[in-house]
Amino acid sequence: MSLPHLLDVDVEDVAPTIPYLRADASRMNAAAALIAQEGRRLNVGVAWTGAPGNTHNARRSLPLGALAPLFALEDVRLFSLKRDGEVFEAEDAAWLPRLAQLPMRDDFDNLAALVASLDVIVSVDTSLAHLAGALGKPLLVPLAFVPDWRWLTHRADSPWYPTARLFRQRAAGDWSGPVDELAQALRERLDGR
């Protein structure tokens, strides 16, 4: 962690060339065909929770029901980016019929194709957020009151991922502000189309 200090590298020196990852073209074609069957004007991939074994998962995750303002948006289709085989919580059941679940979520190659084929990604602090950022996709990240250090503080953007917008909790555990801001950002994207 002291390497940036030793090399005298500052955040302003970070200028990644995005995208620096690319999805496989044939997998993207398959993903795009699946999305077209389910899709709407704006197709949004969502990850509201990360790996259950992560020690910070409870803090960085939100209940699927907290995304109700996103589900309420007309012309928006939400696609689950939870990995195949991951368990949904009992309280998620009411929202599952309104959430498209595509079969290509089983590995990172397929997941990259899905991400690249969607219009926008909404993801809590997971590997998926970093994958979307590396692919250069528009990325909206709701962050916990005290996020991982890589998201820095007091910023609405990320030096690592120029296509990312950050939405921060103003009080620990309160996702209402960030989710309302996410919904507004998606409305703006719809209006801009």
User: What tens digit of pLDDT does each residue of 31-65 get?
Assistant: 999 999 988 899 999 999 877 777 887 888 899 99
Does a structural domain hold residue 62? yes
Grade residue 22 by pLDDT with cuts at 50, 70 and 90.
very high
Does a structural domain hold residue 8? no
Domain CATH number, residue 119: 3.40.50.2000
Does a structural domain hold residue 11? no
Does a structural domain hold residue 169? yes
The pLDDT mean for the chain works out to 90
**pLDDT per residue as tens digits for the range 97-145:** 889 988 888 889 999 999 999 999 999 999 999 999 999 999 999 999 9
User: pTM here?
Assistant: 0.91
Does a structural domain hold residue 15? no
**Residue 84 pLDDT more than 80?**
no
Quick one: which of 115, 44, 48, 124 has its CA closest to 76? Answer: 44
> On the CB side of 122, how many CA atoms lie within 13 Å of its CA?
30
Domain of residue 54, residue span:
22-192
Please check whether residue 132 is in contact with residue 139, taking contact to mean a CB–CB distance below 8 angstroms: yes
Residue with tokens 């089983």: 106
Kindly state the average pLDDT of the residues 67-90: 88
Looking at residue 148, what DSSP letter applies? -
Does a structural domain hold residue 110? yes
Alpha-carbon distance of 60 to 149, in angstroms, equals 13
33, amino acid identity: A
pLDDT of residue 190: 93
Tokens linked to 74: 């007309």
What is the number of domains present in the chain?
1
Does a structural domain hold residue 3? no
Does a structural domain hold residue 37? yes
